[in-house]
Amino acid sequence: MASFTIGFIGLGNMGAPMAHNLAQAGHKVQGYDTAGTTAEGVSVAQSADSACAEADFVITMLPNGAILRSVAAQVLPAMKQGATLIDCSTVDVDSARDVGAQAAEMGLGFVDAPVSGGIGGAAAGTLTFMTGGTDAAFAAAQPLFDIMGQKAVHCGAAGSGQAAKICNNMILGATMIATCEAFALADKLGLDRQKMFDVVSTSSGYSWSMNAYCPAPGVGPQSPADNDYKPGFAAELMLKDLGLSQQAAQAVDADTPMGALAHALYAEFVEVEDGKGRDFSAMLPRLAARSRSREKP
């Protein structure tokens, strides 16, 4: 496999292990993060544009669309002709499309490639990438996806990766709430949680939230519920993704009442209650403590 020079912008909990895996695979990786964080095997650049000047690929892992636009304005002019920008952030669709258009105007490749798999997947190199961009840009980026993850799906033109991610996570947020509601109802009906899991996990209520990430401690495969709801996927990140789904739905006039309600419930949980810093499955103890009036007993 060819060896590439890679600029990596954003060495946080996700970006640092992704950059490390690329370096470990033999690529020359130069990293930059405004917080000064580093990654093993990755050389430290003094600025975002200096990290990208000689790069064949630039990878960004950033908090939101506004920051992506700001970083793109800085690094795109610094990138060499024919290089490709791979944005692995989860941002709004319009930001991804706009940055993709700017890259194309400058003769650069662009792939939006948000990920699924969390911090553990980033460290293990088992992420799933949902990607948007031209066929040529996706093909160019594929060898890097093979190092950082186990699967990359080309979903269409620029912005399609973000669209796929927010649609997936809207389903996830809504099904987690429904799963937690069902356990809370089962408690009040006197139904043992393990018995409920045994039935639902093999019946029509089957879902990833129930079967792979059960929100009830001691039930099903090990999950954050078994670690006092310390985040595997934090509630505030779910809130962010649900917010992006509703922003997109409003932009295209899509009716998403369940997504809107899930967004409202996670907003209350994170911004008003004690959900910040807890796993998104901590909706279960929240709902189990409430009465039908939605007041704590």
Phi-psi label, residue 233: left if phi above 0, alpha if psi -120 to 50, beta otherwise? beta
Ranges of each domain in the chain = 5-157, 163-289
CA distance 247 to 64: 13
- pLDDT digit of tens for each residue in the chain (297 aa)? 679 999 999 999 999 999 999 999 999 999 999 999 999 999 999 999 999 999 999 999 999 999 999 999 999 999 999 999 999 999 999 999 999 999 999 999 999 999 998 888 999 999 999 999 999 999 999 999 999 999 999 999 999 999 999 999 999 999 999 999 999 999 999 999 999 999 999 999 999 999 999 999 999 999 999 999 999 899 999 999 999 999 999 999 999 999 999 999 999 999 999 999 999 999 999 999 999 886 665
Architecture of domain 5-157: 3-Layer(aba) Sandwich (3.40)
> What's the fold here for domain 163-289?
N-(1-d-carboxylethyl)-l-norvaline Dehydrogenase; domain 2 (1.10.1040)
28 carries an active-site annotation: no
Q: Which of 80, 151, 165, 230 is catalytic?
A: 165
pTM, whole model, 2 decimals? Answer: 0.92
Please report the pLDDT score of residue 292 as a whole number: 87
Helices (H), 253-282: 257-267
Which residue, among 197, 222, 199, 223, has the nearest Cα to 210 in the 3D structure? Answer: 197
